[in-house]
Structure 1
Amino acid sequence: MRRGAPQGPIAAKVAKSITQHGMTRVDHYDWMRDPNWQAVIDEPSKLAANIRTHIEAENAYTKQVLLDPTTALRTTLFKELKGKLKQDDSSVPANNGAFAYATRFRQGGQYPIIYRLSVDEATRAPKGPEQILIDGDKESRGQKFWALRDWEVNPQQDIMAYFVDLEGGNKVTLRFRVTANGSDLPYKIEGASAGLVWAKDGRTCFYTLLDANFRSAKVMRHIVGEDPKTDVLIYEERDPAFQMGIGKTSSDEYLIVYRSESESSDVRILPLATPTARLRQFTRYRKGVEYLPDHHGDHFYIRNNSGGAVDFKISKTPIGATAAANWTDFIPHQAGTFIEGVSLYKGHMVRAETVDALPRLNVRDMESGAEHLIAFPEEAYDVDVLRGFEWNTTNLRYTYNSPSTPTETWDYDLNTKNRVLRKTQEIPSGHNKDDYVVRRKVAIASDGARIPLTILHRKSTPVDGTAPAYIYGYGAYGISMPASFSTARLPLVDRGIIYCIAHVRGGQERGYQWYLDGKLMKKQNTFSDFARATEVLVEEKFAAPGKIVAEGRSAGGLLMGVVANQRPELYAGIIAGVAFVDVINTISDATLPLTPPEWTEWGNPITDKNAFNYMMAYSPYDQVGAKAYPPILAQTALSDSQVTYWEPTKWVARLRETAPDAGPYLLRVNMEAGHGGASGRFDRLKEVAESHAFALWCLGKRKRVFGPFLQRKGLNNRFRILMPTHDPIFLHNLSWITRQGSFLIAKAVWLRHWSVRGGICCEGDMIMNLTRPDGPEWCEMY
């Protein structure tokens, strides 16, 4: 792939004038939004013919420029990724009374199998034989897309409710299965969103329905076996600025209906022992206060940020007096110790905390008040509590991993502090964590903010300013990017690429203030942090200038669009997945699923001129200019209701129109998936392989030779490289070593672009077979 690649599709231009706050702009690509987009998300075949023709042309162009030339490379990458995946993997069974539930895959299978085992009464150990409840491989047959979104067994464990997605959007189908024989009840509930809570009677349950704009809007009460048309509405969310969902307390005693915008929340509760009781508000809604209650004994314990507790505190109140006026501090606010979550058990409270951008677990005995920390060894790592089913237990199950350490599942006794390793993630093709180095570095922003960087590389990769790098970022909604293990990164790292996660503002890696400092009128901090992190990779000699690929997805795709506009010179390539790039148009359209709830995250450009001007200044689509953009790969999906397909489609069209000599700009549209991409695990690996192939193209780390690279004559110690004058080339320590038998060894040559005529283009040590009598014409080597 190179500048001078074949011309991409030129989209038709249909002018649409839009005036906001006295400013008129012309959008020539608004026609790419199907007027019946809701129907298209449900049924992609309904896409308008002219839009489909354009998207198919974009996919064909990406196939021509990227996919076809990298067929062998992508096959190799897919094999590597698949080789790191234990195909018959299974989870550690989780006890739930008389049964233990687990998930496994079969060899060669794409989809999960949910099964259960009986539990020995004396030892509490699971024992066979297994009973399969859901077999994803069988149930997905004949479906272009199939995903099991959630499942819940009732307290009596004779009925399983499960949610299946056949489109890739938010809308799923709810069904009920008899666990004894695996048969489904003869009805289903369409248009639900994933998530269900059982009442204690095991026959009543609560679920949510979506509205026409794919928002969870109604909480329904259903009795198993009865016609869903008779289901009772117990709550309806009428304010489109709020997102709504359901859950239950750790004690299984209360249904929780929560509604939230980005900095405020509101909760209603109902006792699950009396499912027909009235849903009541926990406390009066207060703007700017987030809270979530859990239940233990005679009290509720509430994680909240009231009274200026920016890193959150835990309050306590009697179950009969839940108004905020009755709350008292149980765990006071401590600045710098961010309480990320709370898990309650009959005898203990476990707090997931973040201190100095690292997670930790804090255990409290609910009777004595004694506390202790669970310690973890590495410089950067990730820990997650697996809550499980049981309330009356002293066993805490958690997972631990780091960028170099595969996931370990541990059982920890909350009383004795003894821990037992239950499982270590197996890498069939082999993995030695000691071959890798994990570093936690800090980039200092212009305003003094300390931006954490998690860095992974092989020990053998030189940290001298010559290595290529790959940097990932997100930075929105208070979602932190964990310093976790991922086999998907290893094919890049094993090729000598240094991988970095930039924990930019907008997440919560450094506490809740870190989030507040990366939203609304401070959103530019997210983008500047990422650029600064990239600069630090070069300054600290983790990367060579111009040899860095960046990736972000969804709101991270917005980040990619902004840095492409603001700092294109920093990157050799950019991958923007399901990218939120048409900011002003999207956040000005209240009919889109996520727009009203997003106003407290980004601002409301409809009513607030200052917000409009601020957002317009960074909106990737609106700020495209005649710049030297690097190659860009934009990925989207037709059934995505969260970031709609037309955003990246319009963006690529405008890039190609405005800066035609830069790029190239590639659009990859999955015609049968949603926001999360493909549903099958191997299909997802193929998508990863495509992204990696693009990155390796950009970085010149293909371990490939492109020819026609030599003549049969002239096989001596030095060889002349010829290239078209329009192709920039970067050579380091050029040297040729003499022919050895039927092989020529080329060493230490790197070319950014591959269109070399009569020369050799390679990276690192390369061995080329010259045994063909006529000499090779085109050669690819790995």
Structure 2
Amino acid sequence: MRVTATAQTPSSPAVPPVPPTAEKRPTSRTHHGDTVTDPYEWMREKDAAELTAHLEAENAYTEARTAHLAGLRERIFQEIKSRTLESDLSVPTRRGQWWYYGRTVEGSQYGIQCRAPLASPDDWTPPVLSPDVAVPGEQVLLDGNVEAAGEEFFSLGSFEVSNDGTTLLYGVDVAGDERYTIRVRDLVSGENLRDEIPETFAGATFSPDGRFIVYTTVDDAWRPDTVWLHELGTPVTDDVKLFHEPDERYWVGADFTHSDRFLMIEMGSSITSEEWLLDADDLRGTPRVVWPRRDGVEYSSEHAVVDGQDVLYILHNDKALDFELVRVAASDPAGARETVIAHEPGRRLLGLSTFRDWAVAGYRRDGLERLGMLDYATGAVSELAFDEPLYSVGLSGNPEWAPPMLRLGYGSFVTPGTVYDYVVATGELLLRKRQPVLGGYEVSDYAQERVWATAHDGTQVPVSLVWKRSFGAPAVDGPRPVHLYGYGSYEHSIDPGFSVARLSLLDRGVVFAVAHVRGGGEMGRQWYEDGKMLRKRNTFTDFVDAARHLVDAGYTTPDRLVAEGGSAGGLLMGAVANLAPELFGGILAGVPFVDALTTILDPSLPLTVIEWDEWGDPLHDAEVYAYMKSYTPYENVREGVTYPRILAVTSLNDTRVMYVEPAKWVARLREVGADALLKCELVAGHGGVSGRYNAWKERAFELAWILDVLGLADDAPAQ
């Protein structure tokens, strides 16, 4: 294998760095009569010395190519740091006899989880905490900095205190592969118990009585497939298997209902779901199915007590594309259904959170999230109103079953993350905290709006914009540099949200934009259906049409337009680079799913079989195979075109989108003369590096590259 990379040192002459050249080792695969020869598939050998050398050479080349941005990276890092209140506390959340909250401390990478006792049983007003003032009775439950000592990576996958407040469970990942070791701590003594459960999935939970831990494990393809019951103080080898799902299309999870009445065991694919109930006071009993699975029918259940009867509120899409809500008897879920919220096309019901006296419905209408209070007696829904034209809102930390108020999380592109308490009896919205942004940030200095781009088939695609007012209105005052973000898969919506790091772009005159393309969920279930399977190309063409609209309408020019997307959004980036390379000055692809066909053809790889419901099954369906081959970025790199500058960022231990995909993609792009860089974190997972300072530095690296592409690398922020 030949790997070369030359990085300049301060004493070396200005010799352009040479990109690594990976050896070609042709391997062939044949499906549906089509043979593909792949010269770089050998890179899948993660433990091979040649692969390690190649990735290290790629990193050295990327560092050499971006060495001139070192000063800008440091400035952006310092800007993020200076705008962040490094020593801070979250708004306390009441649970049982305690207020629970998190601390961050200046200079520390990880958060510290704490609690303090209630002043009285009737105390529902969270105390106002200050990092400079000691909290009476404070108890540190878990200090992430202590737990992460000596580790290059640290992430929590579970964190829960038992109902009686005496015991803590937490799951730790120190590799980035999302396999967690569960540990248990006695909060009276502060000592860890002997209970330790390795190789688990995220999301373990205590039983209501605190005697048991319910957790899940994964199969060889990283699919959570089995639910287990562990009794504290007993060997892990004695754990009871509560449920196993053999069908590789389905994942499995488990949690207790908010009422603590049932354990709900959930399984689902992208298009089908099924739930089983187990009485919380008889966890070794036999679970019973809510509704037997039917292909294409999704549902989710919540328990409540109405007029003294146990009922289930079930959100489902059986002959209801955007879902409807029904109520059934918990003792006979398959029996008579009472419609509570009827199906309404264009209003996508997202979920229901039940409480003792009322419930909260979450739904999406006109591209925005909404919350509505559901009256158990009448079925009436009262929507909560907010002033901004673009915003995000959702429930945030409501563990109590019968609270007088609801904790909400709110924000927009210009409004920092905000915590409200909503008083149910009066409708009053109490501001508890707004994310501090230091350095004189003023919401009124920035603006946000939504415009519409016309897609190739006439569909109107929403595009959100945010900018700093002092630079003038985009399009009105001339073309501006634009950073365009997109995702468009799994019905995931990119909702308005604030970013401290983004200010380093906005304050240099960059307009941030989001193309809400089909395949996401912004405009309802049909929006998602029209951007998946054999209609996946709509995702890519929508993004191209949105970019073209921004150019044609005078918002920007191609050389001043940088696109970004991650994971499935990275697939989007690779696809649009092939479809319309002339429209972009640069493309940033994070953990990009750019070799999708190779991955989806191999059912032994993590998550592949589950993914067939999203992308199609090219292994057994020739039409799907041909369709995926027509758009997969790695398969469709073009000769004879000028690609925009490309930066691909990945992680060696990512189990969702493996490092090999961007590594192969960059190698193939270089074959056709593209200016492509690869940055691979050698100790990280799908979410990138761990620790807030490390994450800020990583984002500063990416933002500096974006500014360099936009010709703003030497510009200081506007004052």
Partner-residue secondary structure (3-state), 1:434: helix
Query: Aligned in 2, Cα 1:81/1:414: closer, same or farther, shift over 3 Å?
Result: same
**Quick one: distance in 2 between partners of 1:345 and 1:134?**
29
**Quick one: distance in 2 between partners of 1:187 and 1:343?**
32
Partner-residue secondary structure (3-state), 2:193: coil
**Which residue does 1:618 correspond to in 2?**
631
**Which residue does 2:518 correspond to in 1?**
505
**Which residue does 2:181 correspond to in 1?**
173
Asked if 1:48 is matched to 2:62, the reply is no
**Which residue does 2:434 correspond to in 1?**
424
Between structure 1 and structure 2, the one with the greater Rg is 1
**Which residue does 1:346 correspond to in 2?**
356
**Which residue does 2:616 correspond to in 1?**
603
**Which residue does 1:520 correspond to in 2?**
533
Asked if 1:653 is matched to 2:667, the reply is yes
Which amino acid is the alignment partner of residue 453 of structure 1? V
**Which residue does 1:304 correspond to in 2?**
316
**Quick one: distance in 2 between partners of 1:326 and 1:28?**
59
Q: Alignment partner for residue 31 of structure 2, among 20, 24, 27?
A: 20
Give the drift of 1:554. 0.2
Q: How does 1:314-713 map to 2 (within 5 A)?
A: 314-323=325-334, 325-462=335-472, 463=474, 464-626=477-639, 627-657=641-671, 659-660=672-673, 662=674, 664-703=675-714
Give the drift of 1:125. 4.3
Give the drift of 1:651. 0.5
Which amino acid is the alignment partner of residue 108 of structure 1? G
**Quick one: distance in 2 between partners of 1:163 and 1:674?**
16
Give the drift of 1:667. 0.3
**Quick one: distance in 1 between partners of 2:582 and 2:70?**
29
Give the drift of 1:370. 4.0
Partner-residue secondary structure (3-state), 1:404: coil
**Quick one: distance in 2 between partners of 1:123 and 1:182?**
27
**Which residue does 1:231 correspond to in 2?**
239
Give the drift of 1:123. 2.7
Q: Alignment partner for residue 155 of structure 2, among 147, 155, 163?
A: 147
**Quick one: distance in 1 between partners of 2:531 and 2:150?**
44
TM-score, structure 1 normalization: 0.86
Q: Is the 8 A contact 2:508 2:717 kept in 1?
A: no
**Quick one: distance in 2 between partners of 1:316 and 1:764?**
55
**Quick one: distance in 1 between partners of 2:684 and 2:557?**
37
Give the drift of 1:181. 2.3
**Quick one: distance in 2 between partners of 1:430 and 1:514?**
40
Which amino acid is the alignment partner of residue 379 of structure 1? P
Q: Is the 8 A contact 1:703 1:764 kept in 2?
A: no
Which amino acid is the alignment partner of residue 621 of structure 1? Y
Give the drift of 1:345. 1.1
Q: Is the 8 A contact 2:103 2:111 kept in 1?
A: yes
Q: Is the 8 A contact 1:469 1:547 kept in 2?
A: yes
**Which residue does 1:778 correspond to in 2?**
none
Partner-residue secondary structure (3-state), 1:487: coil
**Which residue does 2:4 correspond to in 1?**
none
Q: Is the 8 A contact 2:91 2:126 kept in 1?
A: no
CA RMSD in angstroms, aligned pairs only: 1.7
Asked if 1:198 is matched to 2:187, the reply is no
**Which residue does 1:760 correspond to in 2?**
none
Q: Is the 8 A contact 1:470 1:499 kept in 2?
A: yes
Which amino acid is the alignment partner of residue 581 of structure 2? P
**Which residue does 1:31 correspond to in 2?**
42
Which amino acid is the alignment partner of residue 677 of structure 1? G
What is the number of equivalent residue pairs in this alignment?
689
Partner-residue secondary structure (3-state), 2:543: helix
**Quick one: distance in 2 between partners of 1:328 and 1:69?**
65
**Which residue does 1:108 correspond to in 2?**
107
Deviations 1:510-532 (A, max 9, x none): 01111111100000000011111
Partner-residue secondary structure (3-state), 1:415: coil
Unaligned runs of 5+ in 2: 1-6, 8-14, 128-135
Q: Is the 8 A contact 1:549 1:574 kept in 2?
A: yes
Give the drift of 1:130. 1.1
Question: Larger deviation: 473-482 or 196-205?
Answer: 196-205
Asked if 1:214 is matched to 2:222, the reply is yes
Question: Larger deviation: 366-375 or 622-631?
Answer: 366-375
Q: Is the 8 A contact 1:337 1:354 kept in 2?
A: yes
Q: Is the 8 A contact 1:99 1:126 kept in 2?
A: no
**Quick one: distance in 1 between partners of 2:438 and 2:280?**
45
Q: Is the 8 A contact 2:264 2:276 kept in 1?
A: yes
Moved runs in structure 1, 4+ residues, more than 6 A? Answer: none
Query: Aligned in 2, Cα 1:311/1:5: closer, same or farther, shift over 3 Å?
Result: farther
Deviations 1:435-476 (A, max 9, x none): 111011111212222211110001122323321100000000
**Which residue does 1:755 correspond to in 2?**
none
**Which residue does 1:747 correspond to in 2?**
none
Unaligned runs of 5+ in 1: 38-46, 705-762, 766-781
TM-score, structure 2 normalization: 0.94
Partner-residue secondary structure (3-state), 2:548: helix
Which amino acid is the alignment partner of residue 518 of structure 1? G
Which amino acid is the alignment partner of residue 180 of structure 2? V
Q: Alignment partner for residue 251 of structure 1, among 250, 254, 259?
A: 259
Q: Is the 8 A contact 2:540 2:572 kept in 1?
A: yes
**Quick one: distance in 2 between partners of 1:54 and 1:679?**
24
**Quick one: distance in 2 between partners of 1:19 and 1:434?**
59
Query: Aligned in 2, Cα 1:187/1:350: closer, same or farther, shift over 3 Å?
Result: closer
**Which residue does 2:169 correspond to in 1?**
161
Q: Is the 8 A contact 1:475 1:507 kept in 2?
A: yes
Which amino acid is the alignment partner of residue 512 of structure 1? R
Query: Aligned in 2, Cα 1:314/1:26: closer, same or farther, shift over 3 Å?
Result: same
Give the drift of 1:5. 5.6
**Which residue does 1:123 correspond to in 2?**
123
Which amino acid is the alignment partner of residue 546 of structure 1? D
**Which residue does 1:723 correspond to in 2?**
none
